[in-house]
Amino acid sequence: MSELDDILSAADAADARGEPVALATVVAVRGSSYRRPGARLLVPAEGRPIGLISGGCLEEEAARLAREAIRLDEPIIVTIDHSAEGDELWGIGLGCRGVVELLAEPPSMAAGTLSALRAARDGVPSYLVTELGGDRRELTESEAIALGERASAAVRRGQPVRIGEAVLDPILPPLRLVICGAGPDAPPLAAAGKRLGWRVTVVDPRRTLLRAERFPGVELLDVEPADAAATVDADEWTAVVVMSHDYVRDAAFLSGLTGRRVGYLGVLGPRDRTERLLAESGASGESITTALHAPAGLDIGADGAEEVATAITAEILAVLRGGSGVPLRERPGPIHP
């Protein structure tokens, strides 16, 4: 299960026990930090928190803050500064040097955020504004964008942002991974996407390959390849990987993508094969060429279906997050911009 699945499962279990829970969310980071805005920690009134907002160095402080929010029944925001030299400042060996802002939501607000997270898994976005005075509002996308340039950027990224005495939290659906082809190398890629919390769909007209035991928890669609993109309504938050290993079928998958602006389009196989596929299928246009990555995947020396799946998911993350894919030791400046 993904981290989000763990949080929601733990929240359901706490609700069944009648135990109140709070949420601690990273809302801003300056400098170096293990996690970015949007990382969450579910904190029950008693027991172990669920989630990860740092490499283990902030969880105790976040849990204390969240339990204080439960006690006061109001939101709390705190700034934790570990940018100073010497980890002895906090008495715990902090691995990162940065400034992190945490928002702790009391049970009443946490319930609303958890509901929004569940809705996002079904493709429904939410835009929550938490006033530090205790009020909570839900905005439309246009209302959230109208809050200013920083809010607009936060909406695009799907990350919370501090705006004055309030926090805007855009909760967007996770990335959708559409795998065109259900051959023997498709299950490892589908499983990799599921572990990352993505919504995964496998499309193939060969019904005998679309079996739930091969693709647990994955949407399976038996449609003609040319209709696949329209059926799944592929958009800029969709990563498509064409991998049926049949030339005619792959060409049909690609033809259906013409005119659709997807976030990532990966094609397995040699580069010259993809060039012939594009030429013969009629798939063309800026939306195709901009998103196209062929051969799909980062150059990590992958061999075998599991390793190829790792190379492809890594490239998808790099493309959609704006990463370079180079070793971090070769990146000038901080890890995160």
One DSSP character per residue, 202-229 reads: EE-S-GGG--TTTSTT-EEE---GGGHH
Q: Which amino acid is at 101?
A: E
Q: Are 199 and 176 in contact (CB under 8 A)?
A: yes
Secondary structure tally for the chain: helices H, strands E:
11, 15
Distance, in Å, from the CA atom of 97 to the CA atom of 33, rounded to the nearest integer, reads: 7
Q: Please tell me the pTM assigned to this model.
A: 0.82
**Helix/strand/coil for 56:** coil
Distance, in Å, from the CA atom of 265 to the CA atom of 77, rounded to the nearest integer, reads: 40
Tell me the per-residue pLDDT of 258-301, one tens digit each, with 9 for 90 and over. Answer: 888 899 999 999 999 998 988 887 776 666 778 899 999 999 99
DSSP assignment letter at 174: P
Tell me the per-residue pLDDT of 146-198, one tens digit each, with 9 for 90 and over. Answer: 999 999 999 988 999 999 889 999 999 999 999 999 999 999 999 999 999 99
For the chain, the C-alpha Rg in angstroms (whole number) is 22
Q: Which domains does the chain have, with CATH numbers?
A: 3-171 (no CATH), 176-321 (3.40.50.720)
Q: Is 65 left (phi over 0), alpha (psi -120 to 50) or beta?
A: alpha
SS (H, E, C) 306-336: HHHHHHHHHHHHHHHHCCCCCCHHHCCCCCC
**Helix/strand/coil for 255:** helix
Q: Please tell me the predicted confidence (pLDDT) of residue 94.
A: 46
Q: Which amino acid is at 15?
A: D
